[in-house]
């Protein structure tokens, strides 16, 4: 709703602990891209810039990467006419799985872009890389795009044991990618999503 009203806000996941036992610390986390995966070389200024730009992915475990064909990352503004290609890649450790990838267009579920293991069995894999596709999305107006990777009827019990977070679903999503379809900048549609 806020994005559709023109408020540029970023989602961020946290996993706080209030007691020593039973919290499941680390259930939700936020990932931010870095130019290096060597911990001693990570530049906090780069991470800060990327966070302020909205280049974040939120997850209970699945690792989701989303970008447009021209390399626009979450938080960014892409330019397209009536369609855009979005690359979606989901990786999971051996104890996590997903069985659905859903695209939200201006905050609404797109039935055309609801991919499940049942409807698209060849698009889902059983290894580390669970999903790796380039999706072509038709657009009729300026649109913000969010992709969700989800494990319906799945849980995190193998990794979290008796923790309260064990019942959480494998889930990952990213901050929106804004798409300008007519060259005048991104114009929000004002949709309150029924509220």
Give the DSSP letter string of the chain: -TGGGT-----------SSSSS--TTSSEEE---S---GGG--HHHHHHHHHTT--EEESS-EEEEEETT-PPTT-EEE-SSEEEEEEEEE--TT----EEEEEETTEEEEEEEEETTT-GGGB-SSSEEEEEEEEEE-SS-EEEEEEEE-TT---HHHHTTSGGGGSPPEEEEPPEEEESSSS--------TT-
Buried b (16+ CB within 10 A) or exposed e, 112-136: ebebbbeeeeebbeeeeebbebebe
Report pLDDT for 63: 98
Higher pLDDT, 23 or 185: 185
Rounding to the nearest 10 degrees, give the CA dihedral for residues 4, 61, 130, 172: 0
User: Looking up tokens 């680390």, which residue turns up?
Assistant: 26
Question: Which sign does the torsion angle of CA 74, 75, 77, 83 carry?
Answer: positive
Q: How confident is the model over 139-163, as a mean pLDDT?
A: 94
Give the integer Cα–Cα distance in Å for 50 and 30: 12
Strands 108-116 and 129-138: unpaired
User: Looking up tokens 């580390």, which residue turns up?
Assistant: 128
8 A C-beta contact, residue 73 and residue 55: yes
Question: Tell me: the pLDDT tens digits for 49-74?
Answer: 999 999 999 999 999 999 999 999 99
User: Looking up tokens 């990932």, which residue turns up?
Assistant: 31
Residue 145 has pLDDT above 60, yes or no: yes
Contacts with 80 (C-beta within 8 Å, 6 or more apart), sequence order = 68, 139, 179, 180, 181
Q: pLDDT tier at 21 (50, 70, 90 boundaries)?
A: low
Question: Tell me: the pLDDT tens digits for 155-175?
Answer: 999 988 887 788 899 999 999
């Amino acid at each position: 709703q806020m994005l559709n009203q023109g408020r540029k806000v970023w989602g961020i996941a946290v996993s706080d602990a209030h007691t020593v036992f039973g919290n499941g610390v680390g259930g939700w986390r936020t990932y931010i891209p870095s130019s290096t995966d060597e911990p001693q070389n990570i530049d906090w200024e780069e991470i800060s810039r990327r966070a302020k730009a909205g280049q974040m992915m939120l997850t209970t475990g699945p690792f989701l990467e989303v970008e447009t064909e021209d390399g626009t990352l979450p938080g960014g503004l892409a330019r397209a006419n009536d369609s855009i290609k979005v690359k979606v890649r989901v990786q999971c450790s051996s104890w996590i799985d997903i069985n659905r990838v859903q695209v939200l267009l201006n905050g609404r579920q797109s039935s055309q872009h609801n991919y499940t293991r049942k409807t698209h069995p060849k698009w889902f894999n059983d290894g580390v890389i669970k999903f790796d596709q380039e999706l072509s999305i038709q657009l009729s107006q300026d649109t913000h795009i969010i992709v969700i990777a989800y494990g319906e009827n799945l849980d995190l019990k193998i990794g979290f044991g008796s923790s309260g977070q064990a019942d959480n679903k494998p889930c990952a999503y990213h901050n929106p990618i804004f798409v300008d379809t007519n060259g005048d900048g991104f114009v929000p549609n004002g949709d309150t999503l029924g509220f």
